[in-house]
């Protein structure tokens, strides 16, 4: 919920320049109470509850709720927001101006609250896990009905054909975008000590971690990967170490292999021989 301050009632601040929280809450007590009262009003049921939360029954309930809130007929597959529904999902936006109504459209909030209230009252469902942007994620009657039915009955009991769970959707996305990745084939030789790759060693935290790794007897080699720059990487690393209070000689340590990479291109922008060498290492862990 967003409450916009009156120009005639500005916030007050402490001597340090921070807002005086209690004083501001006191000044806007009336507006805050009205805001919560308006949100509570949106949860009042005006549509009969579905007999069961099967997809078909839920579809009719959602259709009646949307029609009641938006005062117009909306097709099962029509996007709410193409019919004028407020895109401020689950946000009550108060506009404190004298020339317009006190609050902006509450259509998305009205639909969400009505649906959640129905689910709670008829099934004792714990709706706290329902995302705040559920209307935005399911902007059609059919999608919203499928979500509600699946939420109450669980995915394996929903009688709506063709529904794809979020997990399946994410797994499919991973499969699509990882297609063609080269298989990592590490070296068959197990090193006596650890080999580490770390990124961002020219920053404060990265420089500190790099210094610790170089000083560790358990680490044999450190691949320090950073973005490309007009300055030589070794000079940039030494300068960064000195700036953050570490010995700049660490950048020249025989343990450290400094690499400049471009994370937007294949093989990180490394030359084929260097990339092949790095890809065959048995790293103990990585950091990106």
Which domains does the chain carry? Answer: 2-164 (no CATH), 194-287 (3.40.50.720)
Tens-digit pLDDT profile for residues 62-101: 988 888 877 777 888 888 877 655 443 333 333 333 333 3
Q: 103-112, 163-172, 196-205, 258-267 — which is least confidently predicted? A: 103-112
* Mean pLDDT for the chain overall: 77
pLDDT at 52 over 60: yes
Tens-digit pLDDT profile for residues 218-269: 888 899 999 888 889 999 999 999 999 999 999 999 999 999 988 778 888 8
The secondary structure of the chain, three-state, reads: CEECCCCCCCCCECCCCCECHHHHHHHCHHHHHHHHHHHHHHCCCCCCCCCCCCHHHHHHHHHHHHHHHHCCCCCCCCCHHHHCCCCCCCCCEECCCCCCCCECCCHHHHHHHHHHHHHHHHHCCCHHHCCCCHHHHCCCHHHHHHHHHHHHHCHHHCCCCCCCCHHHHHHHHHHHHCCCCCCCCCCCCCCCCEEEEEECCCCHHHHHHHHHHHHCCCEEEEEEEEECCCCCHHHHHHHHHHHCCCCHHHHHCCCEEEEEECCCCHHHHCCHHHHHHHHCCCEEEEEC
Identify the pLDDT of residue 192: 62
Is 0.85 topped by the overall pTM? no
| Confidence label for 158 from pLDDT (cuts 50, 70 and 90) | very low
In 146-279, the DSSP E strands lie at 194-199, 219-227, 256-261
Average pLDDT over residues 171-181: 78
Q: Which two tokens stand for residue 284?
A: 């103990």
Identify the pLDDT of residue 235: 94
| Confidence label for 201 from pLDDT (cuts 50, 70 and 90) | very high
Higher pLDDT, 202 or 153: 202
Tens-digit pLDDT profile for residues 5-50: 888 888 888 887 888 888 888 998 888 888 777 666 655 556 788 8
| Confidence label for 286 from pLDDT (cuts 50, 70 and 90) | very low
pLDDT at 54 over 80: yes
* Residue 284 DSSP SS3: strand
Identify the pLDDT of residue 258: 93
Identify the pLDDT of residue 100: 30
Backbone angles phi, psi at 261, to 5 degrees: -130, 155
Q: What is the dihedral of CA 98, 100, 103, 105, to 10 degrees?
A: -170
């Amino acid at each position: 919920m967003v409450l916009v301050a009156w120009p005639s009632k500005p916030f007050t601040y402490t001597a340090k320049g921070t807002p005086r929280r209690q004083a501001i809450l006191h000044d806007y007590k009336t507006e805050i109470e009205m805001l919560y009262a308006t949100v509570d009003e949106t949860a009042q049921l005006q549509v009969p509850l579905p007999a069961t939360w099967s997809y078909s029954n839920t579809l009719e309930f959602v259709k009646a709720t949307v029609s009641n809130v938006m005062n117009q007929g909306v097709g099962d597959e029509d996007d709410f927001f193409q019919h004028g529904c407020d895109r401020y999902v689950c946000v009550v936006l108060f506009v404190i101006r004298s020339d317009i109504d006190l609050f902006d459209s509450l259509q998305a909030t009205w639909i969400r609250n009505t649906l959640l209230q129905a689910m709670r009252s008829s099934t004792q469902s714990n709706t706290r896990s329902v995302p705040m942007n559920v209307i935005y994620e399911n902007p059609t009657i059919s999608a919203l009905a499928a979500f509600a039915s699946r939420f109450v009955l669980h995915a394996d009991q929903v009688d709506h054909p063709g529904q794809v769970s979020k997990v399946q959707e994410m797994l499919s996305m991973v499969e699509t975008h990882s297609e063609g990745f080269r298989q990592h084939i590490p070296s068959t030789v197990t090193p006596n000590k650890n080999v580490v790759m770390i990124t961002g060693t020219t920053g404060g935290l990265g420089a500190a971690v790099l210094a610790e790794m170089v000083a560790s007897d358990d680490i044999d080699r450190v691949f320090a990967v950073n973005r490309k720059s007009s300055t030589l990487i070794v000079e940039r690393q030494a300068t960064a170490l000195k700036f953050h209070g570490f010995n700049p000689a660490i950048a020249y340590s025989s343990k450290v292999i400094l690499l400049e990479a471009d994370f937007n291109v294949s093989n990180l922008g490394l030359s084929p021989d260097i990339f092949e060498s790095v890809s065959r290492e048995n790293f103990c862990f990585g950091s990106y």
